Chain A
């Protein structure tokens, strides 16, 4: 996958032609490119900035696999040019991600960058992409500020904002499960976004949050100490947001300490996604969550996508794969719309709000205000379906759009 970059855009050509020593050094590759016919031809290179090690490795793999699958389906060509990828591992470390971003943008001179799993990494990279006017398509990280006070014209999301799932859950929970809630989230940006999102709609619907637990991040360790507090809280329900390893240890401890079935557990959908469900096992049964996709969504687009992914990678797709697939499609349609000319970043940005299609997750388009998707939010419940654990869609809450400011939690 790690292909060497061989194309140089017109913008880079102009920069290099400025006459610096660097330009002299780069001259050989430049002339090679010229021979192919100028700055808007040759391969387009896309930098993939994703975690391939540590706790989010699965997410990075899913996103990469699905992007690659999408581009393979369309013949690895968009806007009349060949498309190549360069992968870099961000781990879960904002400083490592920063170095890799610099490497992709300045050394590999990629045309655009896609990826980013962790909200912390995204927040840290925001200024770099903004200041360098480099297009970043975020395939996962949901940090709210990127759609709100820290919006940048150069950063667009094909995934979600951290407000969407908890805000959708709060109102429904107060009306259908109970009016006092305990919240347990990891102590970082995404956790805080989940607290404010859930609390706002929960309180609007007459509920009261009586306990908020902030647990160590990224290494939660043994969650046993948190269970006694939840059990003692006297709340009607628990809302939580964990992913990866923490999602498994939390759900298992919840069951080990006898809370499963006693105290309803509600969550942001990542907590019980396809990547962690097999490890959680029956401890996850009955957990209800909100998310913009479910494995069991019965639409032609989803069924086709699941089958293609399964055949190609011999494992089931998860929500991260869906986001990767849609990221691929957004990038391809954008490149088609600008006819492969990546030299003008503003032109690329301008076409993004016009992109809309039927995604495996349902109707998908990009909102010009929040620079994040307009998409459906689904209420799901973990059930045993033909011997496997999956999220059964209980209700479709319909289209959700981030407010684009802090007016709604």
Chain B
């Protein structure tokens, strides 16, 4: 039982990291109807930019703020010059080709700039150290990730569901033309959504770096897990991303803890079973993208 509680905590930590990633991917799909396979690259880019800032300025918190901001600016540029041409319900294939191409390019550029060595980012001073949990020293930084994930989920949900901006964004995906007709600059809305979604990936990169470290190939490793989370949770909803992250985070952690030889298989088995029972995921939007 004690061991299970420790593993449950580990599961929550990993779930929250997955949620920040999947939340971004899901917002971009749900609010823009765009499939973004460069999301993993933005995770890694965020992590590396954060690393550079921590090294230059020695301040993790500043990195946490600025790295997502810089990556968001890059996202706006990409949205404006490339992605904008590919909006529309029947253009998913083109979006996949574009964003996957970008992922490959970023992957090479990152290795070119930061090298192929594994890099680690120390957690901030304030959150280093341990608390004892059933005889095991549990790192405070990891526990704080759980709190951060829950707070972030609440904030995102409030913005999307309870504010005017959220209402505009949600209206935009249902009928972009009508929203434009109401005098709202729909291009600005989409650019904003893409920037926020991408910033979340970069944020996850900075936050996750002390846990996952940074190395070439991590971008695609994370992308696959994130896509699984979004598929399990249901494409396009924040609630789905949260539920999917919990399911996959737990399946991964408990699988590793109790049947480690089968843990990779377990994630995909869980995904297959959920899709059999609920083809559009746990909380998927019905009929989106069709």
Point out residues on A near B: beta carbons under 8 Å: 53-55, 57-58, 61, 187, 213-216, 219, 221-222, 224-229, 231-232, 244-245, 247-249, 252, 256-258, 275-276, 278-281
In the complex, what distance in Å separates the CA atom of A103 from the CA atom of B225? 33
Q: Out of A53, A231, A257, which one reaches B111, CB within 8 Å?
A: A53
Q: Does B120 contact A (CB under 8 A)?
A: yes
Least CB distance, B184 to chain A, in whole angstroms: 42
Known: A55-B216, A258-B130. Contact between A279 and B260, CB under 8 A? no
Per CB-CB distance, the 9 closest pairs between chain A and chain B, nearest first, are: A258-B137, A57-B116, A225-B257, A225-B256, A54-B217, A245-B215, A279-B120, A256-B139, A224-B10
Query: With A221-B252, A222-B10, A225-B10 in contact, do A280 and B136 touch (Cβ < 8 Å)?
Result: no
Asked if A252 and B261 make an inter-chain contact with CB atoms under 8 angstroms apart, the answer reads no
Contact B213 A57 (CB under 8 A): no
CB distance from B18 to the nearest CB of A (A): 10
Question: Is A224 touching B142 in the complex (CB atoms < 8 A)?
Answer: yes
B13, B118, B130, B137: the one within 8 Å of A279 (CB) = B118
User: In the bound complex, how far is the Cα of B260 from the Cα of A221, in angstroms?
Assistant: 12
Q: Does B167 contact A (CB under 8 A)?
A: no
Is the C-beta of B150 less than 8 angstroms from some C-beta in chain A? no
Question: Would you call A215 and B117 a contact (CB within 8 A)?
Answer: no
Let me know if B135 and A278 touch, CB within 8 A: no
B215 contacts A55, C-beta separation under 8 Å: yes
Separation of A43 and B171 alpha carbons in the complex (Å):
67
CA distance A58 to B117 in the complex (A): 6
- Please give, as numbers and ranges, the residues of chain B lying within 8 Å of A215 by CB-CB distance: 256, 260
- Taking a contact as CB atoms under 8 Å apart, the answer to whether A281 and B120 are in contact is yes
Least CB distance from A17 to B in Å reads 42
Q: Which residue of B lies closest to A187 (CB)?
A: B261
What is the CB-to-nearest-CB distance from A54 to chain B, in angstroms, rounded to a whole number?
4
- Nearest A residue (CB) for B135: A231
The number of residues on chain B lying at the interface, defined by a beta carbon within 8 Å of a beta carbon of chain A, is 42
B118 touches A216 (CB 8 A): no
Kindly provide the distance from the CB of B211 to the nearest chain A CB, expressed in whole angstroms. Answer: 6
Interface check B6, CB cutoff 8 A: yes
Inside 8 A of B216's CB, which chain A residues have their CB? 53-55, 57
In the complex, the answer to whether A226 meets B260 with C-beta atoms within 8 Å is yes
Which residue of the partner chain, among B13, B211, B215, B257, contacts A229 with CB atoms under 8 Å?
Answer: B257
B86 within 8 A of A: no
**Closest CB in chain B relative to A295 CB, distance in Å:** 15
Q: Which chain A positions have C-beta within 8 A of B3?
A: 228-229, 232
Q: Decide if B117 touches A222 in the complex (CB within 8 Å).
A: no
Closest-CB distance, B266 to chain A (whole angstroms): 10
Q: Report if B280 contacts A (CB, 8 A).
A: no
Cα A210 to Cα B107 with chains together (Å) = 41
Residues of A within 8 A of B274 (CB): none
Asked if residues A252 and B260 are in contact (CB atoms below 8 Å), the reply is no
CB <8 Å contact, B217 and A258: no
Return A90 CB to nearest CB of chain B, in Å: 13
Cβ 8 A contact of A257, one of B120, B122, B138, B264: B138
User: In the complex, what residue of chain A is closest to B9 when comparing beta carbons?
Assistant: A224
Q: Within 8 Å CB of A279, what residues of B? A: 117-120, 213
CB of B263 within 8 Å of the partner chain = yes
B175: Cβ under 8 A from any A Cβ: no
108-154 of chain B: CB within 8 A of chain A: 108, 111, 115-120, 122, 130, 135-139, 141-142
Q: If the complex has contacts A55-B217, A245-B218, A257-B139, are A252 and B256 also in contact, measured as CB distance less than 8 A? A: no
Contact A244/B215 with A219-B221, A225-B256, A228-B3 known, Cβ cut-off 8 Å:
yes
Q: Would you call A227 and B136 a contact (CB within 8 A)?
A: yes
Any chain A CB within 8 A of the CB of B7? yes
Nearest residue (CB) in B for A57 is B116
